[in-house]
Amino acid sequence: MSNPPESSKQEHPSTYFVQDRTNLEELERVTVQDQMITASMGGILPEQADPSAYRRVLDVACGSGGWVIEAAQTYPTMTLIGIDVSKRMVDYAREQAEKAQVADRVEFHVMDALRMLEFPNNYFDLVNMRCSGSFMRTWDWPKMLSEMLRIARPQAVIRVTEPEIEHQNNSPALTQFFAMFQCAMFQSGHLFENNTTGIIDHLARLLTQHGCQQVQTRSYALEYRTGTPAGQAYYNDCKYVLRNLKAFIQKWGCISGDYEAICKQALEEMQQDTFHSTWNLRTAWGYKSR
């Protein structure tokens, strides 16, 4: 497939929790978070026995393209496609693929995954989606999983990775922020229940209920401490999160009157030598039947 002409397209409206996707800070945040999660999980497909067996791979809601590009660098036999509703993200991802010299095996397309995955039936060996809770509402899952299965080949893998809402940490201010964020995620329909685990406890059920076979899960506890490269990446990610999610939290009536003071305090507490945080993620994957 070749890249369609998209130069005249504007940003599509979306359900993503940061509406201004032309914001350079959000692009930087997504890039930092993407690299941070992949490294902390131990690689691109750490739970898969033989990732090199997947020849054609799709990444749904690819953001700035980090997962796709790293997959191409790690597995030279893969051909990969990333899709995202944001033209800004897709343009940046294409630039990075060129710089990484993998553009011959990587494509990026502007596409609203909540409408339709614009690919033929039985096309991919693996369909990946990560951190989709940022734009998926609870009622979006049936159609999304149906589309992912439709474009997957028989015996292909459907793979979904999601994080918990609250990070277990020793910063009182950061904990206050996560409480507000959790409230907004629930009020906006992104969560099934108003709890700190988010949607990770529903992943296996959703995949099984909507047609995946032999569903399995693996949980990850990502550890971040001050004074380490991972801890610095975590700080940078949170710095952007605190700013970029303010409008979303405010929109859904969950913001505290002293939000700015809470954010300032959180950043100060995260720079203390004793700061640590654990972020739990879960990957669920299953297979399309023959």
Cα torsion angle, 94, 119, 134, 43, sign: negative
The pLDDT score that the predictor gives to residue 41 is 92
Query: Is the pLDDT score of 151 beyond 50?
Result: yes
Query: Is the pLDDT score of 167 beyond 50?
Result: yes
Measured CA to CA, the distance from residue 12 to residue 7 in angstroms comes to 13
The pLDDT score that the predictor gives to residue 8 is 39
What is the residue-averaged pLDDT of the chain? 92
The pLDDT score that the predictor gives to residue 258 is 96
Domain 24-287, CATH number (from 3.40.50.150, 3.40.50.720, 3.30.390.50, 3.90.1150.10): 3.40.50.150
Which range among 19-33, 67-81, 98-112, 261-275 shows the weakest confidence by mean pLDDT? Answer: 19-33
The pLDDT score that the predictor gives to residue 26 is 85
DSSP class of 138: G
DSSP class of 31: H
The pLDDT score that the predictor gives to residue 12 is 56
pLDDT band at residue 15, thresholds of 50, 70 and 90? confident
Domain boundaries, the chain: 24-287
124 strand-pairing partners: 152
Q: pLDDT exceeding 70 applies to what percent of the chain?
A: 94
Q: Which residues of 152-174 are buried (b: 16+ CB within 10 A; e: fewer)?
A: bbeebbbbbbbbbbbbebebebb
Q: Are 24 and 91 in contact (CB under 8 A)?
A: no
Q: Which residues contact 220 (CB under 8 A, 6 or more apart)?
A: 40, 41, 280, 281, 282, 283
pLDDT band at residue 198, thresholds of 50, 70 and 90? confident
Measured CA to CA, the distance from residue 175 to residue 181 in angstroms comes to 10
Measured CA to CA, the distance from residue 53 to residue 32 in angstroms comes to 28
Which range among 18-32, 54-68, 111-125, 138-152 shows the weakest confidence by mean pLDDT? Answer: 18-32
In 3-state terms, what secondary structure has residue 25?
helix
pLDDT digit string (tens) for 102-144?
999 999 999 999 999 999 999 999 999 999 999 999 999 999 9
Query: Can you give the pTM of this predicted structure?
Result: 0.92
Q: Where are the beta strands (DSSP E) in 190-275?
A: 213-225
Longest Cα–Cα distance in the chain: 56
Q: Are 75 and 52 in contact (CB under 8 A)?
A: yes
Q: Which residues contact 198 (CB under 8 A, 6 or more apart)?
A: 133, 162, 163, 164, 165, 185, 191
Measured CA to CA, the distance from residue 204 to residue 282 in angstroms comes to 10
